[in-house]
Structure 1
Amino acid sequence: MGDGETAEGSVWEAAAFSSHYKLDNLVAIVDVNRLGQSEATALGHSVDVYKARYDAFGWNAIIVDGHDIMAVCKALLTAATTKDKPTALIAKTLKGKYFPGVEDLDNWHGKPLGKQSGPALEAVKALITDNGPHGLSPRPIKDDAPKITFPKVQLCEPPKHTMGEKIATRKTYGEALVKLGKNYSRIVALDGDTKNSTFAITYKNCCPERFVECFIAEQNMVGVGIGLGCRARNIVFVSAFAAFFTRAFDQIRMGAISQTEVNFVGSHAGCSIGEDGPSQMALEDFAMFRTIPGAVCFYPSDAVSAERAFELAANHRGVTFTRTSRPATAVVYENTETFEIGKSKVLRKSDGDKVTVVGAGVTLHEALAAHKTLQAEGINIRVVDAFCLKPVDKALMVECGKATGGRIVTVEDHYFEGGLGEGVAAAVAEDGGVKVHRLAVTGIPRSGPAALLMEDYGISANCIVKAVKKMLA
């Protein structure tokens, strides 16, 4: 890695993680050339300081002349025989070594040599004392890793829940992992010291050898997950409070660019988590994950749909994000219900529906409560469980919108920007004739009882009733 890069906190998250797990098969080569992009790095050529820092993190740090190939090889041999510690090669180098007018000079980052290319080539050629032939040939690639095939991954047993039973989807996460892990030995789960809240602990207790505790270092946790998913050798699930993934957006984004296959699971989302307060409330998680290229975003509303969401995620090749809920919610689906990526479900429907209400997760249950209230007043509404927020079920949204007089109300435990409402609005925009009224969290919530917060911030059943009546006025 570059010396300038070591200013990143994620580097030291990785250093602490690697030392803790005694990863003696890991070697980090730090190119200390002292020059950053726009000016010299903070430490310059102070290789002793770099060594002291890696030593302090429990590494075997070795200072070498990065231009001395034999010294580098000797250091690598030392690394190979070092036990219970990762090794850091602190390689002192000069940027543009041997290039006249370039060597160790500022302002050459990412620039072609231009007029300096001729003198640079001549300088390098002059250093070659024996131009061969040497009788050297590259060794054939040794690819002795066993081939891994991914069959269709299924839960070892179908959901077994009772209609109306209340269970938090975050709890279902751990149970679903166990069901997947019993059927497939390459299900690996990571968590960032939230496993007793995300319920990843359920999987740890079942399959400890396939669980990795990454502690409170989400950037590194995502990096480890990406690594474990490389070359399609594992099915990886990474869990944390959904809000904490915002710290690792860069790693998630770069992973997607590299076509990673990681399933992210975020719990404790929205103001419905109640007393934990706004620092813990993910209210922008879907806005973040829906921008990730190729990502699939699930928001299950009950235990049955949650189990199936995790099963779908395990079979998807790419990034997925599943939001789980802290509150226990009633089971609304039969155990035999099937689910698909990009498909939503209609839970309440009649020929006389005046408005379509689209919810997801906790707000689906608010929509069902609103349906009951409005029905008692002689107003019928259609209730749709979005289930998948990316891709949005465009066909169903257009169909329901047109069937209910061109009126849709969306309700989400999320800020207005980037979530369910914008997804539905975009889905129906091209067809025209459908108006979308969006209900979302109207400000930064306080700490308090979930029901009170959902009412105060505009996403309760009562708020849905008011929105429906307003559209019909």
Structure 2
Amino acid sequence: MEKKQLQELKILSAKIRLNILEMLEKRGYGHLGGSLSIVELMSVLYGKQLKYNAKEPNWAERDMVVLSKGHAGPAWYSTLAETGFFDKKILFTLNDGDTILPSHPDRLKTPGVDMTTGSLGQGTSVAAGIATGMKYNKSNQYVYLIVGDGELNEGQCWEAFQYIANYKLNNCIVIIDDNKRQLDGYTKDVMNPFDIAEKMKAFGFYVQTAKGNDEEVIDTAIENAKKVENKAVCIVLDTIKGQGIKYFEELESNHSVKFNNEEIIAENHKAINKLKIFIEEGSLCTH
């Protein structure tokens, strides 16, 4: 990847992260931790890898994204706004009664959302179905399935993975956000996932593990996955819940954060200001 393109992706990541912080503070609460942990992934997808047309969200030749961990909707909405699917001002209507941005993604409401998700596990089966249809039609499209590590508690995920592997659906790029935490605590304490990469290998996948905060590494992993023939593919992203903001990374209850005390709001403002400076300085460097 060229240096300029990498810098542009890092700026996009900063913008996505900034939007998440601002929109959730405006809302007063929201799924912060799991949204922040997929920021770099979303940046790489929409900044480089994904085939889409923001002005024509239902373009027949588009690649598709299934955010099975639907509670990370704020990260997706932020990305869609940054890449032109709708006006950024709409981000601040998150979860309002008449919004096009509900708490969890809804394909009937939000431009750019291909699958309604939120009931954990179900996105895996839907992505498998989409990939099957693409194969049947001999299409060169991809579906990117984003799954949470806590979500892997759901048996439906493993049924879908077995199906994807059995039918060698290499056009379904399975990406697991291994941020080590879920609603009730650390995944190892709630329901030990053991070695996710090894489990996926045992299911028949070609598996890569990649640092989830490194745009270049994520991009390389996706490029490698696209070269695999006759085998299902999986990328396990090594991430941190609350990724990119040290205060939120260390906050014990960072799955869903309430902006209801002075410390949280003050730390959020510090992070927002740092991101704004990075974006401004980075944008100057790319011109």
Structure with the greater alpha carbon radius of gyration: 1
Compute the TM-score of the two structures, normalised by the length of structure 2.
0.48
More helix by share: 2
TM-score computed with the length of structure 1 as normaliser: 0.31
